[in-house]
Amino acid sequence: MNLIIRLIAGALAFWAATSLLDGISVNGGAWSYLWVALLFGLINGVIGSLVKLLTLPAILLSLGLFAFVVNAAMLMLTARWSNQLDVMDFKSALFASLLISIVTTIINRAFKSKKAY
């Protein structure tokens, strides 16, 4: 159940990013958003974890802000491997990764707080 909630949270985060930012778009409907969220989660979980481990000194020196750069690179990689996601440039990917992180954190925390009661 937790995986489904995280997938839907990712799809909603991508929807928010495409609605608020001009440089990123998802071609298609709800299934495309779910597919892009799943692919981004897989890429970020496998390749992103390795890249974050390799860039750990930069992440520590920037107090974690460099992790957004890594997430933006993973978003660009997702756009390259998916026909449904289009990202114009790295600046758009950086702002989108920031927005996606914020939205998924809010949604995941909202569902965790409901579980406790």
pLDDT digits (tens, 9 = 90+) for 90-117: 999 999 999 999 999 999 888 876 554 5
Reduced to 3 states, what is the DSSP secondary structure of residue 86? Answer: strand
Q: Please report whether residue 86 resides in a domain.
A: yes
Q: Please report whether residue 116 resides in a domain.
A: no
Q: Please report whether residue 64 resides in a domain.
A: yes
Q: Please report whether residue 37 resides in a domain.
A: yes
Q: Please report whether residue 17 resides in a domain.
A: yes
pTM, full prediction: 0.89
Q: Please report whether residue 115 resides in a domain.
A: no
DSSP-H helix ranges across the chain? 2-20, 30-43, 49-54, 56-61, 66-81, 90-116
Q: Please report whether residue 108 resides in a domain.
A: no
Q: Which residues of the chain have pLDDT under 70?
A: 113-117
- Residue 99 domain boundaries: 2-103
Q: Is 96 exposed, middle or buried (0-12, 13-18, 19+ CB in 10 A)?
A: buried
Q: Please report whether residue 58 resides in a domain.
A: yes
pLDDT of amino acid 113: 63
Query: What is the number of structural domains in the chain?
Result: 1
